[in-house]
C-alpha cells in the first residue's frame, strides 16, 4: 500500500476532557496508501479503510496522515470494529480519482475534537487538537505535486501552504505531516538551521521549493 513511517510526540495539555488531560502522548504516522478505492471502478472505500484501520490498531497509532486517498469531495467514515474514523479531502466529483489527503484518527480522540477537520484542497487537510490556555496543535497533512507536475501547480500548492501556516496563531504548535515528493540533498552549510547534517544525494527542483 505504499510508504509508512511513524513517530511519537508529547503535548502538554490541561484540558478537562479525559482525552486531553495531562501530558498527551501521541503516536503519529504518515502513510501513502496509493488509493482508498476498492477497484478502479469502485467509489466505496469501506473495505480498504477497514484494512488500514486494523493495521493502525495493531501498531497502536493514534493519528495517521494519509495521502493518495483518491476519494472525491470531503467526507468521513467510521470503522467501529477497529476503532478509527477516516476524514478526507479530495478532488471535485467531476474530476478523476487522483491525489486526495486525509487523517485516520482513533475514535477515542475523534470524539473529543471540538471542530471537524478542514479540507483545504485535494492536497492539504488540517486538524486542530485543543491544548492548554486556548492553544492548539495544528496538524497539516500535505501531498505535494510530483517533480513532473506543472510549475504553476507547484507554486499554487506552496502558496496555499504558506498562507495557511501564516494564519496559525503564534502560540499554537504546527506539525506538518506529508509527502513532499522532494529531495533536499545534504548542503547543510547553505541551509543552516533548516537542513540537518545527515542528508544524502542531491537537491532537486521540488527540494528547492521545500527548503
Per-residue pLDDT tens for 106-122? 999 998 887 779 999 99
CA distance 110 to 38: 25
Structural domain boundaries in the chain: 4-180
* pLDDT-based confidence at residue 43 (cuts at 50, 70, 90): low
Kindly report the pTM of this predicted structure.
0.85
Tens of pLDDT, residue by residue over 128-140, are: 988 877 788 999 9
Q: What angle do CA 57, 58, 60 make, to 5 degrees?
A: 60
* pLDDT-based confidence at residue 152 (cuts at 50, 70, 90): very high
Q: Which fold has domain 4-180?
A: Deoxyribonuclease I; Chain A (3.60.10)
CA distance 201 to 160: 28
Q: Indicate the SS3 state at residue 104.
A: strand
Give the sign of the dihedral formed by CA 132, CA 134, CA 165, CA 190: negative
Average pLDDT over residues 194-203: 91
Amino acid at each position: 500500500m505504499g510508504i509508512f513511517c511513524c513517530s511519537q510526540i508529547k503535548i502538554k495539555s490541561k484540558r478537562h476532557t479525559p482525552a486531553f488531560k495531562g501530558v498527551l502522548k501521541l503516536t503519529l504516522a504518515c502513510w501513502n496508501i496509493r488509493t482508498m478505492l476498492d477497484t478502479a471502478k469502485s467509489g466505496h472505500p469501506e473495505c480498504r479503510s477497514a484494512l488500514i484501520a486494523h493495521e493502525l490498531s495493531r501498531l497502536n497509532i493514534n493519528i495517521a496522515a494519509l495521502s493518495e486517498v483518491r476519494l472525491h469531495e470531503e467526507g468521513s467514515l467510521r470503522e467501529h470494529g477497529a476503532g478509527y474514523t477516516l476524514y478526507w479531502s479530495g478532488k471535485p466529483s467531476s474530476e478523476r480519482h487522483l491525489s486526495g489527503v486525509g487523517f485516520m484518527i482513533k475514535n477515542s480522540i475523534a470524539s473529543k475534537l471540538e471542530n471537524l477537520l478542514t479540507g483545504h484542497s485535494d492536497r492539504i487537510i488540517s486538524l486542530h487538537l485543543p491544548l492548554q490556555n486556548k492553544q492548539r496543535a495544528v496538524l497539516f497533512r500535505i501531498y505535494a505535486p510530483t517533480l513532473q507536475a506543472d510549475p504553476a501547480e507547484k507554486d499554487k500548492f506552496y502558496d496555499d501552504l504558506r498562507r495557511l501556516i501564516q494564519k496559525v496563531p503564534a502560540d499554537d504548535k504546527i506539525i506538518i505531516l506529508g509527502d513532499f515528493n522532494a529531495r533536499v540533498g545534504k548542503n547543510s552549510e547553505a541551509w543552516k538551521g533548516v537542513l540537518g547534517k545527515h542528508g544524502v544525494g542531491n537537491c532537486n527542483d521540488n527540494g528547492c521549493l521545500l527548503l
